[in-house]
Amino acid sequence: MRKKFHIETFGCQMNKSDSELMVLSLSRSGFDKTDIEAEADIHIFNTCSVRQHAEDRVISRIENMRAGIKPESIIVITGCMAQNRKDKLTNGIADIIIGPYQGPKIGEILDNYFKDKTGNNFLSQSYNDFSPRIDFGLTDCKDDIAWHKWITITHGCENFCSYCIVPYVRGPLISFPSDTIIKYAGELAAKGITEVTLLGQNVNQYGMDSDIPFYRLLEKIAGIREFRKVGFLTSHPKDFDDNIIYVIRDNENISKAVHLPFQSGSNTILKQMNRQYTRERYLEIMEKIDKTLEEYSVSTDIIVGFPGETEEDFNATLDVVRKVRFDEAFTYAYSPREGTASYHFEEKLTREEKIERLNTLIDVHRSIVKEKLTARIGRHENMTVENVSKRSEEEVIGRTSLNHPVVISGGEEDIGKRLEIKIGGLRGATLLAERIN
């Protein structure tokens, strides 16, 4: 009997991409994917350690799941938490743990496990064992958008922002060779993929350890004309040079939705965070984008309540939010991570005070988003339909070319279509539109 696996992914896009590689590896080794948890013989959790909450969620998911699963089924923890908490996880929580770079080998690892169960129930690989490997492949992950693929261009990170666990769990920066990436992108295009996102913890550093700079790679990928949309994640203000902005401007198929985390608007805090740029430099980049790109949207990541953040520092963050007017912001309360530099910085704020700042920030940001979206009413735009709405079978959801969420009437037959639409209104932070072609 072929064994079935169920996979649940936490954390960032890198993990989503890794999960796709795991599905591929498992199917090559003769395991079948199921979306029904109770049917699975293998439960895989691809985990994140970036904040304490991310780790707590996985543990409580596993605890709550136990009653409804086959008693003989096994639990496999992969990804960053497997690396970060290997000792804790082998203590009765997981049967197997597999570090972040062993995903492409998971089929082989599980195959061996089922052949020889004795004493072989602990398989952790540290990132130190990692040798650069590129194992791209096409998979049929159901929760993925069929016409889109992630393309990992770098692994690891060595920026050591003082709050961040990623360099410890993902190891140093490794850029994959550009000719391999370009060849793979060409293969994707030939198979009908029309949208790709280049992935790395700081993609702007691509090629700094060898090869061509990031903006050249981006240009080459955009040169594959079958791609109607090329995105990239994540950028870092310290390495975001003007050449990148010019390449975005000069290539119609590069996404004009720019994601650039700023984390804090206070220079004192930025220094403590080891971010290596100032608020002035960040605002300068935003100004350059504004002057260079005709139409664009901007999103960001922000941390509130970093150790030592005063009311004044926090106001400086709010000030950047008001000045830049982001279309989307991923906002987080600071979470101390053991092993990072800031773990020992003295925290003066209580959890409640951090949450209060977070809520203030979210309120300011939301009202700006509302104003920005309202300003789009009456415009003609393009959208790509991603899914049938969860609210109604007669509605479909998608994103405009600037990445704003949008709803129109339609059905399953519309999924994957690129439509011309007219924006008619707003429902919460989602645009309401009607098709005009």
Contact residues toward ligand F3S (CB under 6 A) are 11-12, 14-15, 48-50, 79-80, 165-166, 169-170
Query: Applying CB under 6 A, which of residues 301, 319, 353, 356 lies at the interface with ligand SAH?
Result: 301
Binding to ligand SF4 (CB under 6 A) within 195-234 occurs at 201-202
Site membership for ligand SF4, residue 236 (CB under 6 A): yes
CB nearer to ligand SF4: pick between 309 and 381:
309
Mark 106-145 with x for binding to ligand SF4 (rule: CB under 6 A) and - for no binding.
Answer: ----------------------------------------
Beta-bridge mates of residue 177: none
Contact by Cβ (8 Å): 421, 434: yes
Beta-bridge mates of residue 422: 380, 434
Q: What are phi and psi of 31, to 5 degrees?
A: -100, 150
How many of the chain's residues bind ligand SAH (CB under 6 A)? 17
Site membership for ligand SF4, residue 166 (CB under 6 A): yes
Contact by Cβ (8 Å): 80, 47: yes
d(CA 265, CA 251): 31
Contacts of 150 (CB under 8 A, 6+ apart): 13, 16, 17, 20, 196, 197, 199
Residue 325 per-residue DSSP state: -
Binding to ligand SAH (CB under 6 A) within 158-217 occurs at 163-164, 166, 201-202
Q: Which tokens in the block code for residue 125?
A: 């690989």
Encode 215-273 in three state secondary structure. HHHHHHHHCCCCCCEEEEECCCHHHCCHHHHHHHHHCCCECCEEECCCECCCHHHHHHC
d(CA 147, CA 386): 10
Our CA dihedral for 363, 364, 369, 372, rounded to 10 degrees, sits at: 150
Site membership for ligand SF4, residue 174 (CB under 6 A): no
Query: Quick one: what does residue 40 bind among ligand F3S, ligand SAH, ligand SF4, none, with the CB cut-off 5 to 8 Å set by partner type?
Result: none
State the nearest-atom distance from the C-beta of 80 to ligand F3S, in Å.
Answer: 3
Among 372, 94, 112, which Cα is nearest to 257's? Answer: 372
* Number of neighbouring beta carbons within 10 Å of residue 184: 18
Sign of CA dihedral 416, 420, 424, 425: positive
CB nearer to ligand SAH: pick between 335 and 409:
335
CB nearer to ligand F3S: pick between 342 and 400:
342
State the nearest-atom distance from the C-beta of 134 to ligand F3S, in Å.
Answer: 18
Binding to ligand SAH (CB under 6 A) within 84-143 occurs at none
Piece of 121-129, 159-167, 220-228, 251-259 that binds ligand SF4 (CB under 6 A): 159-167
CB nearer to ligand SF4: pick between 235 and 400:
235
CB nearer to ligand F3S: pick between 9 and 400:
9
Site membership for ligand SF4, residue 161 (CB under 6 A): yes
Write down the residue that tokens 């050449």 correspond to. Answer: 243
CB nearer to ligand F3S: pick between 29 and 299:
299
State the nearest-atom distance from the C-beta of 343 to ligand SF4, in Å.
Answer: 14
Beta-bridge mates of residue 254: 230
Mark 328-367 with x for binding to ligand SAH (rule: CB under 6 A) and - for no binding.
Answer: ----x-xx-x------------------------------
Query: Quick one: what does residue 167 bind among ligand F3S, ligand SAH, ligand SF4, none, with the CB cut-off 5 to 8 Å set by partner type?
Result: ligand SF4
CB nearer to ligand SF4: pick between 164 and 333:
164
Among 144, 160, 263, 153, which Cα is nearest to 215's? Answer: 153
Ramachandran sector of residue 126 (left: φ over 0; alpha: ψ -120 to 50; beta: rest): beta
CB-based burial of residue 118 (10 Å sphere; 0-12 exposed, 13-18 middle, 19+ buried)? exposed
Contact positions toward ligand SF4, by CB under 6 A?
A: 157, 159-161, 164, 166-167, 201-202, 236
